[in-house]
Amino acid sequence: MERAVITWRGMGSGARRLIAVGVYAFIFGVAFGIAARNVGMAGWAATLMSATVFAGGSQFAVLELWQSPVAWGPLLIATLAVNGRHFLLGASLYPWLRSLPAWQIYLAAVLLSEPNWARAIEAQARGERDVGVLVGGGILLWVAWVAGTVAGAGFIDLSPEHFRRFGLDLVFLAFLSCMLTGLRRGRADDLAWLAAGLTALAAMAVLPPGWHILAGAVAGGVVGVVVDARR
């Protein structure tokens, strides 16, 4: 297999492919900044969190726990549960970038999130070798997310009701659905995906928040391998 590379050109292309999603990441950043302000989190803390954690779901989740004294157990477990899915994103992408130097792989890991991962999987399926797609897309999302947080924690005011009214709560679901549609290679996928969806839905009822994604994804992966083996 041809070796993976990271080029400036690839990074530019990765950023361009996520401009629309970046606009929404900015809006979500604003929402996070406002929500953080409403629970009494200082502007510097919200900004620092967005810059270093860079994972919206977990950041919103811990706002419920932002109190004194700190509930360390729930805070850390919530972070792990909501972000555990990154583990699967990384694992599924590894064959594509394994020929890169380790420092590049683990630096790129800082920027791993769904939208740029989805674009990377798409690039891999097209036979592209430039991991810059992942890095450039990630940088764009990071800048948008942090800038949004600064704006929301500082001066913009919007209510969650506005988000719902304009369907903005569905932006990331809609984007991921589009990526999924592009990933479908044939009937073999359908059975795996059916298993993933049903397992995740069932697991949501019995597992603590967040873990259903891992359960569903692993079920889908296993069913996919079995289906492949039987053909």
Partner 1 sequence: MHDADALLAIGAMAILTYATRAGGFLVMSMVPLSPRLEAFLRHLSGSVLVAIIFPAAVTSGPAAILAILAAVLVMHRTRNALFAMTAGIGLAALLRAWF
d(CA 137, CA 22): 9
Give the shortest CB-215-to-partner 1 separation in angstroms. 7
Q: Is 130 helix (H, G, I), strand (E, B) or coil?
A: strand
| 5 makes contact with partner 1 (CB under 8 A) | no
Q: Which of residues 59-78 bind partner 1 (CB under 8 A)?
A: 59, 62, 66-70, 72, 75-76
With CB under 8 A as the contact rule, the residue among 13, 58, 116, 149 that binds partner 1 is 58
Candidates 5-13, 141-149, 152-160, 197-205: pick the segment binding partner 1 (CB under 8 A). 197-205
- Specify the residue, 88 or 158, whose C-beta has the smaller distance to partner 1: 88
Spatial neighbors of 226 by CB under 8 A, at least 6 apart, are none
Q: Which of residues 158-187 bind partner 1 (CB under 8 A)?
A: 164-171, 173-184
Give the shortest CB-174-to-partner 1 separation in angstroms. 4
| 220 makes contact with partner 1 (CB under 8 A) | yes
Evaluate whether 55 touches 173 at the Cβ level (below 8 Å): no
Nearest to 156 by CA among 51, 35, 25: 35
Please give the structure tokens belonging to residue 196.
Answer: 């993933």
| 208 makes contact with partner 1 (CB under 8 A) | no
Please give the structure tokens belonging to residue 169.
Answer: 């709560």
| 55 makes contact with partner 1 (CB under 8 A) | yes
Q: Which of residues 132-161 bind partner 1 (CB under 8 A)?
A: none
